[in-house]
Amino acid sequence: MKTVLVSAVALIDRDGRVLLAQRPKGKSMEGLWEFPGGKVERDETPEIALLREMEEELGINTWESCLAPLTFASHTYETFHLIMPLFACRKWKGTPEPRENQALKWVAKQDLRSCPMPAADIPLVPILYDWL
């Protein structure tokens, strides 16, 4: 079974809310809410991949030093195994906006558990909740 490395971020605003992105129509797991991020390309570190993805997906920039490693997910889907480090980030330049046909929403920590998420993201929520 193929292993896929994906890097994700919990963007945390001044009010302690977390940004979630909704998977767009036509993609697997469409309609589910997830932490923004994406696949780590060959010769990229998870941090560099995340910096690239934040610019491509959300139109924001940050620095590697602003990414705090928080936890990771390890989940087997039907056709691949996912490894996903989750970083926390409180400082960035720009205003997050959807650039890949995804909806975005800021979610208070007490509301994170009510958002339908991909199976790999679900175990990350209580860890993030306790950290916030």
CA distances from 108 to 39, 80, 112, 114, 129 (A): 26, 31, 7, 11, 10
Series of mean pLDDT values for 10-residue runs along the chain (132 residues): 97 97 91 96 96 97 94 96 97 95 95 96 95 90
Which pLDDT value is given to residue 26? Answer: 85
Return d(Cα 72, Cα 124) in angstroms, integer: 7
Is the CB of residue 75 less than 8 Å from the CB of residue 82? yes
The rounded radius of gyration (Å) of the Cα atoms in the chain is 14
* Nearest-10 Cα torsion for 122, 46, 40, 78: -30
Q: What is the pLDDT of residue 101?
A: 87
Q: Residue 86: its pLDDT value, please?
A: 98
Q: Domain 2-131 falls in which CATH fold?
A: Nucleoside Triphosphate Pyrophosphohydrolase (3.90.79)
